[in-house]
Structure 1
Amino acid sequence: MTDTVELAKGDIISVDVQRPAHGGEGIAHHDGRVIFVQGGIPGDTVDLEITQLKKNWARGHVVAVTTPSADRVDSRCPAAALGAGCCDYAELNPEAEMGIKTRVLTDQLERIGGVDKLPNLELHDLQPSAGWRTRVRLGVDASGRAGFRKLKSTELVTSAACSQVVPQLLDGLVGEGAQRFTPGAEIIAAIDDNGNRHVVESRKAPRGRRTETILKVLEGTGEVVQKVGDYTWTFNVSSFWQAHAKAPSAYSQFIASVLDGVELIDVDKRGPVAWDLYGGVGLFAPVITAKLGAHVHSVELSEGSAESGEAALGELPVTFHTGKVEGISSQLPSPHVVVLDPPRTGAGSDVIESIAQARPQLVIHIGCDPATFARDVADWSKHGFEMDQLAVFNAFPGTHHFETIGVFTRVS
């Protein structure tokens, strides 16, 4: 038996990256330890500096690629090439992204979700793969220059733009000759569906949270106009909207396809009822009402988003409720169908239990993190729901992020 070689922080070792890990890292092995490789692509051989060390695993970052993977390319993002944390897949061939992301999802569903048999994966690779982001949040350094935060750091890259962003969105905001802003502030910029750019200054939000407070409008009105199908929403530029220009229509079309031909059961004289949870401005409500003829109850924490939804969808049978899902869902009429789009932290066991107790016939669950989505899948199974469809949307090209939509039916 060979003893494990003692490692220490700062040591540099050579490893072969074997497979992807959740979070954009690669996985290697070294003398009995699992090694998480920041910046590693499956197929790489790299020199790695150890930055974190535990008994059975370690983590480090690549200091040199000695043998590149066949999927490694020159950085596609100028900001990421300078250390920004925006595009952690900037050196991954775009054609390999979907395969890696589905492998990560499958692994999470098997290990965390306890899923032993998956539905056939439906893959949606949203285009374009660069210049797709129509809204962005920038940090501002002590000199008033706006830029992108470095990975796991408060430092900023202010000299180059990110390749995700629609090019004209950052004109005059980032790079040489860019305007200056209030040091320590946050800049929010967006181009809406009327082609208007809006730039506002906001206060930096606490870590893991977002702020909707606008301190100063620098360009435009601060109110974006977004259109999907026959409906138009106007709302605060700091409010949530899907990042990829094609995502709102892609998700809406998928939900429409799921609801096509659904035969609702146990419909009483009140007619069909649907819940749209974490509903934002009510993006999916028109699809639900059109396909099911249902009265939609949308639950959203942001009062501004709910007000925008009411203004845009006033002629539809949609009722907006403002507050936390876990506090409001028990007060709603029992649904036949539930659509939920929780934040990155997932819905959680309490929310899923409350939905399950209402006994919907069908649930469409949108997840933006594979680990928390897998945890939620396990909870759906625990409460008698079976996953019939599973779709993956590469809606964040150049990054390890992606969107997953699971369709669940009640079986018990």
Structure 2
Amino acid sequence: MFSWSFFDEPGCDELSRFEVTVGPVAHGGHCVARHEGRVVFVRHALPGERVVVSVTEDRQGSFWRADAVEVLEASPDRVVPPCPVAVPGGCGGCDWQHVSAERQRSLKADVVAEQLRRLAGIDREVVVEALPGDGLLHWRTRTRLAVDAHGKAGFRGHRSHAVVTIDGCPIAAQGTVDKVVDRDWAAGAELSVAVDSTGETFVAEGRRPVSGGSTAHERAAGRDWTVAPHGFWQVHPAAADTFAQVVREWAAPAAGEVAWDLYAGVGLFASILAAQVGAEGTVVAVESDRRAAEQGADNLADLPQVRVFAGRVEAVLDRAQLPDPRVVVLDPPRKGAGSRIVKSIARRRPDRVVYVACDPAALARDLASFAERGYDLTDLRAFDAFPMTHHVECVALLNRR
């Protein structure tokens, strides 16, 4: 039997502990149970388990959030978490350390399928693929930490400002967390730490650089990239190459055509599109972060067919005189593109849209918006780019009817 010691949140007493049978997985790193007619969102559990939960948040009749603090009947997919603080009352960063690797991916597949069905009316079997590499541990190349009142680094608790101090992190790549946990920091500071493909470590305390240079170096899609040390780049070392390959296969504009790369970052997907459209074609790359856009222009300086626009995507699409695209690639932030962007894309009538998404709910909402405007989901791949967490990356292909 698995069990843990757990200190309840303020306001939760022994009356807030009860037994439940755990139901299906839900988006957000928890499973759904019911108790006395109320929904309970349970962390640290698995579907089918019988557990004792402790309520951590009471929404006054709407639902409870709770942690499984004792497992009475365990799933065969349950394992011992490799991290001592990946338990109730501990670090909030990992959701599925208590779950086998295969089951983690099947849970994420269930979530993606449920979001597509509920929010987009799409019934589709989903398989979450593992990325190349060493598995569940030591993959995270960029992370942020908080500092407690005693100057010690750690991570926030789940839905909490409390700092859980750590000695290390099993999902963090060497050269990241191990570089900051053995020293004292300013109380209350926020830390950013990253390691690039050359092995150089970059640490910042708030906005103040502590170690590392001003530019990180990455390698993907057959090219070298310069990026901001703490700017956007895929945190899993195999992710950028994997997603670039899917974009290459699905976007496939012909020589001389026009392609758009929206939310272009430092130009990864634009480089793929530029090779496909050739010198006679055009790639429009739009990125709201000015420094990333400038680095994108520098990274792609050898590809004059790429036009980089620095600005919010909606503003550029509304105001710039852009050529109509044959294909659009977009990689929006977690909240998704939204109906305004979808409408702007559909109005230009591209043949195909390749959508890279880090949130299945946002993806499903945008797929529903695309469907209203004549675009159907024709293919989907999902990747376990964030092992041990509930996050999953999807790449969707849409074609115009």
Q: TM-score normalised to the size of structure 1?
A: 0.87
State the partner residue of 1:292: 277
State the partner residue of 1:328: 316
* Partners of 1:335 and 1:241 in 2: CA distance: 26
**Structure 1 counterpart SS, 2:46:** coil
**Structure 2 counterpart SS, 1:162:** coil
* Partners of 1:152 and 1:56 in 2: CA distance: 18
Question: Could you list the runs of 5+ residues in structure 2 that have no partner in the other structure?
Answer: 1-11
* Partners of 2:178 and 2:363 in 1: CA distance: 37
State the partner residue of 1:378: 368
1:59 paired with 2:47, answer: no
* Partners of 2:60 and 2:356 in 1: CA distance: 34
1:283 paired with 2:290, answer: no
State the partner residue of 1:168: 175
* Partners of 1:313 and 1:88 in 2: CA distance: 38
* Partners of 1:172 and 1:263 in 2: CA distance: 47
* Partners of 1:162 and 1:113 in 2: CA distance: 37
Farther off after superposition, 187-196 or 337-346: 187-196
| Distance apart, 1:167 and its partner CA | 2.9
* Partners of 1:234 and 1:23 in 2: CA distance: 33
- 1:349 maps to a residue whose letter is S
Structure 1's 78 and 292: CA in aligned 2 closer, same or farther, altered over 3 A? Answer: farther
**Structure 2 counterpart SS, 1:91:** coil
Farther off after superposition, 218-227 or 58-67: 58-67
- 1:252 maps to a residue whose letter is A
Farther off after superposition, 33-42 or 63-72: 33-42
Q: For residues 337-362 of structure 1, give each alpha carbon's deviation from its aligned partner in whole angstroms, at most 9, with x where no partner exists.
A: 11111111111111111111111111
1:186 paired with 2:193, answer: no
Q: Percent identity?
A: 37
* Partners of 1:19 and 1:12 in 2: CA distance: 20
Farther off after superposition, 366-375 or 46-55: 46-55
Contact 1:78/1:162 (<8 A) preserved: no
* Partners of 1:187 and 1:246 in 2: CA distance: 24
Structure 1's 172 and 59: CA in aligned 2 closer, same or farther, altered over 3 A? Answer: closer
- 1:325 maps to a residue whose letter is V
| Distance apart, 1:113 and its partner CA | 1.1
Farther off after superposition, 338-347 or 286-295: 286-295
Contact 2:109/2:127 (<8 A) preserved: no
**Structure 2 counterpart SS, 1:168:** coil
- Work out the number of aligned pairs and report it: 380
* Partners of 1:373 and 1:338 in 2: CA distance: 15
Question: Could you list the runs of 5+ residues in structure 1 that have no partner in the other structure?
Answer: 1-7, 203-213, 265-270
User: Which aligned pairs between 1:288-367 and structure 2 lie closer than 5 A?
Assistant: 288-293=273-278, 294-316=281-303, 317-330=305-318, 331=320, 332-367=322-357
Structure 1's 325 and 149: CA in aligned 2 closer, same or farther, altered over 3 A? Answer: same
Q: RMSD across aligned C-alpha pairs, in angstroms?
A: 1.9
- 1:157 maps to a residue whose letter is V
**Structure 1 counterpart SS, 2:176:** helix
* Partners of 2:267 and 2:37 in 1: CA distance: 50
* Partners of 1:53 and 1:201 in 2: CA distance: 36
13, 17, 27: which is aligned to 2:18?
A: 13
State the partner residue of 1:105: 112
State the partner residue of 2:54: 49
| Distance apart, 1:121 and its partner CA | 3.9
Contact 1:129/1:397 (<8 A) preserved: yes
* Partners of 1:142 and 1:320 in 2: CA distance: 44
- 1:276 maps to a residue whose letter is D
- 1:318 maps to a residue whose letter is V
- 1:353 maps to a residue whose letter is K
| Distance apart, 1:256 and its partner CA | 1.3
| Distance apart, 1:151 and its partner CA | 1.1
Structure 1's 372 and 179: CA in aligned 2 closer, same or farther, altered over 3 A? Answer: same
